[in-house]
Amino acid sequence: MALPQYSLKVPVSQLQLGMYVCELDRPWEGTPFLFQGFPIQNAHDLRTLQETCEFVWVDRRQSHTVTPLSASLSAGAQAKTYAVDYRDEVKTTEPVWREARAVSMRMLDAVKFGKELDVGEVRRAVGECVESVLKHPAATLWLARIKQRDHYTAEHCLRVSLYAIALGKALGLLPLELEELGVCGMLHDVGKIKVPDEILNKPGRLTDEEFRLMQAHTTYGYQLLMANSEVPPAAVDVAHTHHERMDGKGYPRQLPAHRIPFKARIIAVVDAYDAITSDRPYSEGRSSLEALRVLFEARGTQFDEVVVLAFIQLIGVYPPGEIVELSTGEVGIIIGFDAGSKLKPRVLIVLDASKQPRPERVLDLARNPLDEQGRLVSVREVKPSGAYGIDIDAYRAKGLVVPG
Ligand SMILES: [Fe+2]
């Protein structure tokens, strides 16, 4: 198709009122548009374009946007690059995550069958995770949101390790300390191997005796890790103390706050966050936002306040991978945000207002999109993972195709 040199290819997520559309990415026939070339005059035009096309060509000479066209498009181009880079980052970090997951499963198996724990292997996997978190923090945390029910404990250990590394970095720990913290995360729950599955996976309330056995995973973990001279002392300590509380009411020893190591305070926070946001036999996973609220409310009593506040800052209100319902009723997955727009994320819309699947499109809330009534589109509600049957992992596998 021959296009005039003054036309610009623009993804529909970056269209603005006043832009003059001179060509579509498909034949005009079969689209709802009467004229083959028109200015975008209202939210309805904008929405129809976004629902019909992935990108269009805009005639620069005939466009009259509020912000200069070049400025708005170069900002848009940056956003696009960010999204594509993000996809690449996920591709780069995924093998690291897969390997670490395999190590986590092998590690638990070894403990289960009474074999020697290969601490060197755990260290190596964690070392790669540290590198990944330092280089690609957003993509690594996105991977931490992938959850498969059947390997809960192994994946939980890995996710706790990844979150802990990211949080440790935010709290100013040095790379070597981050590695040690990551190992603490991987090993914090090994004692659960000695707790019967019927108790770990019991759908209802635990009896007092069952609860006591469950709590004993801290002591089991301590004993198991103490027996291996390769395990760093910090990891032995964390396995023992990650359920102690700042108000001295934790278990197994009801330690006062000053005796709870800093690394255990970090693991306690990320451990609780992952448990609250995961589906368990006894409770459905809750949204990230709800989990952060629970942590915030328990700051100072159960958890270290400084650690909780740093974690809330790190995860943010709208972390990538979270499912959100918009004010339009549409449902999408958060795929990122630009620096400075943490409260206005980019959303990959996957369901329409009646919650039916629709061709995916990216809506960047930082660009203040309007709905049909001309109102600003916003996030109405953050949903728990798996809401409406949306499988985030399937979208990740598809590479989160971003138009443009
Ligand atoms: Fe635990």
- Identify the residue whose tokens are 């190591």: 261
Give, rounded to a whole angstrom, the gap between the first and last alpha carbons of the chain. Answer: 17
What is the CA(188)–ligand 1 centre distance, in A?
A: 6
Residue 223: the pLDDT is 96
Query: What spacing in Å lies between the alpha carbon of 221 and ligand 1's midpoint?
Result: 9
Q: How far is the CA of 299 from the centre of ligand 1 (A)?
A: 18
**More confident of the two residues 161 and 358:** 161
Residues whose CB is less than 8 angstroms from the CB of residue 27 and which lie 6 or more positions away in sequence, other chains included: none
Compute the distance from residue 333 Cα to the ligand 1 centre, in Å.
30
Say how many Å lie between the CA of residue 267 and the centre of ligand 1: 9
Would you say residue 402 lies in a domain?
A: no
pLDDT given at position 80:
37
d(CA 111, CA 220): 11
251 CA → ligand 1 middle, Å: 10
**Ligand 1 centroid vs 242 CA: distance in angstroms?**
7
- 369 neighbors 42 (Cβ within 8 angstroms): no
225 compared with 141, residue with greater pLDDT: 225
Task: Check whether residue 137 and residue 253 sit in a common domain.
Answer: yes
What type of residue is 305?
E
Query: Where does a domain end: 18, 48, 66?
Result: 66
Domain assignment present for 107: yes
pLDDT in tens, 245-254: 999 999 999 9
* Residue 267 and residue 180 in contact, taking contact as beta carbons nearer than 8 Å: no
Same domain flag for 302 and 340: no
Are residues 158 and 21 both part of a single domain? no
Residues 6+ apart with CB under 8 A from 305: 246, 299
46 with 90, same domain: the answer is no
Of 301 and 9, the one with more pLDDT: 301
* Domain boundary, last residue among 288, 315, 342: 315
pLDDT of residue 305: 94
Is residue 220 situated within a structural domain?
A: yes
386 in the Ramachandran plot: left (φ > 0), alpha (ψ -120 to 50) or beta?
left
CA 343 to centroid of ligand 1, rounded, Å: 32
Centre of ligand 1 from the C-alpha of residue 69, in Å: 54
What pLDDT score was predicted for residue 136?
79
Question: How far apart, in whole angstroms, are the C-alpha atoms of residue 188 and residue 375?
Answer: 48
How close is the Cα of 238 to the center of ligand 1, in Å?
A: 10
Q: Do the domain assignments include residue 403?
A: no
Whether omega before 252 lies within 30 degrees of 0, making that bond cis, reads yes
- Predicted model pTM: 0.71
How crowded is the C-beta side of 268, counted as CA atoms within 13 Å?
32
Ligand 1: centre distance to CA 12 (Å) = 47
Which has the higher per-residue pLDDT, 153 or 306? Answer: 306
Distance in Å, CA 225 to ligand 1 centroid = 14
Distance from the alpha carbon of residue 83 to the mean position of ligand 1, in angstroms: 36
232 found inside a domain: yes
- Report how far ligand 1's centroid is from the alpha carbon of 243 (Å): 6
Range(s) of the domain holding residue 247: 76-315
- The structure tokens 């985030």 sit at 392
DSSP state of 299: B
Domain count along the chain: 3
The strands making up 38-39's β-sheet, listed across from edge to edge, are 7-11, 55-59, 20-24, 38-39
Q: Quick one: pLDDT at residue 366?
A: 86
Asked if 193 contacts 111 with a C-beta cutoff of 8 angstroms, the reply is yes
Question: Do 106 and 205 belong together in one domain?
Answer: yes
Calculate how far, in angstroms, residue 141's C-alpha sits from the geometric centre of ligand 1: 21
Asked whether residue 267 falls in the same domain as residue 333, the answer is no
Smallest CA-to-CA distance from 291 within 267, 271, 307 is with: 271
CA of 220 to the centre of ligand 1 (A): 11
Same domain, yes or no: 305 and 354: no
Q: How many residues does this entry show for the chain? A: 404
Residues 259 and 114 in one domain: yes
- Helices and strands (H, E) in the chain, number of each type: 14, 9
Residue-wise pLDDT tens digits, 162-199:
999 999 999 999 989 999 999 999 999 999 999 998 99
* Domain stop point among 258, 291, 315: 315
Q: Do 154 and 295 belong together in one domain? A: yes
Residue 99 falls within a domain, yes or no? Answer: yes
Task: Compute the distance from residue 290 Cα to the ligand 1 centre, in Å.
Answer: 20
Q: Are residues 363 and 268 in the same domain?
A: no
pLDDT (tens digit, 9 = 90+) per residue, 121-165? Answer: 999 999 999 988 888 777 777 777 777 666 788 889 999 999 999
Per-residue model confidence (pLDDT) at position 2: 59
Kindly give the distance from the C-alpha atom of residue 107 to the centroid of ligand 1, in angstroms, as a whole number: 16
Q: Which DSSP string do the residues of 264-288 spell out, in sequence order?
A: HHHHHHHHHHHHHHS-BTTBPPPPH
Residues 99 and 155 in one domain: yes
Distance of CA 214 from the midpoint of ligand 1 (Å): 9
Q: How far is the CA of 127 from the centre of ligand 1 (A)?
A: 22
Looking at residue 87, its pLDDT comes to: 60
- Tens digit of each residue's pLDDT (9 = 90 or more) over 265-303: 999 999 999 999 988 888 888 988 889 999 999 999 999
Residue 228 lies in a domain: yes
User: What is the C-alpha separation between 138 and 130, in angstroms, rounded?
Assistant: 13
Average pLDDT over the chain reads 84
Radius of gyration of the chain (CA): 24
CA of 211 to the centre of ligand 1 (A): 13
Dist. CA 385 → ligand 1 center (Å): 22
Q: What is the CATH number of the domain that holds 113?
A: 1.10.3210.10
Spatial CA neighbour of 186 closest among 251, 242, 115, 143? 242
Q: Are both 110 and 199 inside the same structural domain?
A: yes
Q: What's the confidence (pLDDT) of residue 77? A: 39
pLDDT of residue 82: 36
In a domain, 71, yes or no: no
